[in-house]
Amino acid sequence: LDPLIDLEAEIARLREEKNAVILAHYYQEGEIQDIADFVGDSLDLSRKAAATDADMIVFCGVRFMGEVAKILSPDKTVVIPDAEAGCSLEDSCQPDAFRRFREQHPDHIAVTYINCSAEVKALSDVIVTSSNAEAIVRALPEDKPILFAPDRHLGAYMQRITGREMTLWPGSCIIHEQFSAREITKLQTQYPEALIVAHPECPESILSVADAVGSTRKILDFVKNAEAQEFIIATEPHIMHQMEKDAPEKTFIPAPGADGGCDCANCPFMAKNTMEKIYLAMVNEAPQIVIPEDLRLRALKPLKRMLEMSP
Ligand code: CIZ
């Protein structure tokens, strides 16, 4: 690629030429968030993908998010900047093993976090994101036991706040697992006024010291509206880009891992996307998300149920 190429201008030109919409997750690099038409969490972005009249969706996030866009908008061309942008939660829940898990619990409702493959979605009763999981779990019939996959920390948190019994799949997010409650408490001695906000993919040791727990959307609203001026952020640190835009006068401090540093919290999958790869994906219309129609229709059912049940 010509090193002098103005990637931002070229991406803008291709957006017009191909009638494309660029969707970016809050965990993307700041420069990618800034060129996107919409920045959001997977729930917001799946709604945008379902409603768009663009011909091409450029999904800057991880692969399962691009799959959700294709499942909801099959007539659109969905491209992702890097086909290798996976997800540790998705990897932790393979379809064959998940099918056996379901077979072992035939009377259970399978509530599955959106961070999973289309195959696992197709084996589920309803999909949830961290934004709507609580409302959806509360709305499920009370006489039915629940299987929750693949994130055991989000599942355990849902059990604690809703009181619903759940059988949990033993998966977790490599990023949210790394924060250290001990190091966060140490950091608080440096910032005694700071509030701790944490994503529910974090283990209970972190959630129990947090002042607010929630999805990226909920955390963003919390820090914007709180009177506090300093916040320790226990989730993927690129979300701080939006926080700094929303409240430039406030201070956001990334939560540390066990070594006291914060680098471990950068999601290596989200980081695979770059401006250059976005440009190339738009030029080549590849990598594209392709999902066989029978699989798409099976995965669509629990996703549609999610959208209907989402507040
Ligand atoms: O739902 C999402 O987009 C994820 C992965 C996290 C969040 O809380 O928004």
Phi/psi for 146 (5° steps) reads -115, 140
CB of 42 sitting under 6 A from ligand 1: yes
Say if residue 102 is in the same domain as residue 166: yes
Residue 2, pLDDT score = 84
What is the CA(148)–ligand 1 centre distance, in A? 16
Residue nearest to atom 5 of ligand 1 (CA): 42
211 belongs to a structural domain: yes
Distance, CA of 34 to CA of 12 (rounded, Å): 12
Is the reported ipTM for this assembly greater than 0.90?
A: yes
pLDDT of the residue at 3: 84
Q: Show Cβ contacts of residue 288 under 8 Å, excluding neighbours closer than 6 positions.
A: 77, 78, 79
Q: What CATH number corresponds to the domain at position 303?
A: 3.40.50.10800
Question: Within this chain, do residues 114 and 167 fall inside the same structural domain, yes or no?
Answer: yes
- Indicate the helix (H) or strand (E) that contains 59: strand 56-60
**Residue 199 burial by CB count (10 A; 0-12/13-18/19+): exposed, middle or buried?**
buried
List of residues 6+ apart from 226 with CB closer than 8 A: 195, 212
Give DSSP secondary structure letters for 224-244.
Answer: HH-S-SEEEEES-GGGHHHHH
Inside any domain, residue 2: no
Q: Is residue 18 part of a domain?
A: yes
Output Rg (C-alpha) for the chain, integer angstroms: 19
Which residues in 42-67 are b (16+ Cβ under 10 Å) and which e? bbbbbebbeebebebbbbbbbbbbbb
pLDDT along the chain (311 residues), means of 10: 92 98 98 98 92 97 97 97 97 98 97 98 98 98 96 98 97 96 95 98 98 97 98 97 98 94 90 98 98 98 96 89
Q: What is the pLDDT of residue 4?
A: 87
Distance CA 261, CA 161 (A): 31
Question: Do 98 and 125 have their domain in common?
Answer: yes
Please tell me the distance between residue 110's alpha carbon and the centre of ligand 1 in angstroms: 19
Residues 95 and 80 in one domain: no
Largest CA distance in the chain: 63
**Residues 250, 190 share a domain:** yes
Could you give the number of structural domains in the chain? 3
199 touches ligand 1 (CB under 6 Å): yes
**Together in a domain, 93 and 168:** yes
Q: Which domain holds residue 78?
A: 7-85+270-291
Residue 168 and residue 94 share a domain: yes
Instruction: Name the residue among 244, 265, 255 with its Cα closest to residue 207.
Output: 255
For residue 1, is it within any domain?
A: no
Question: So what's the pLDDT on residue 123?
Answer: 98
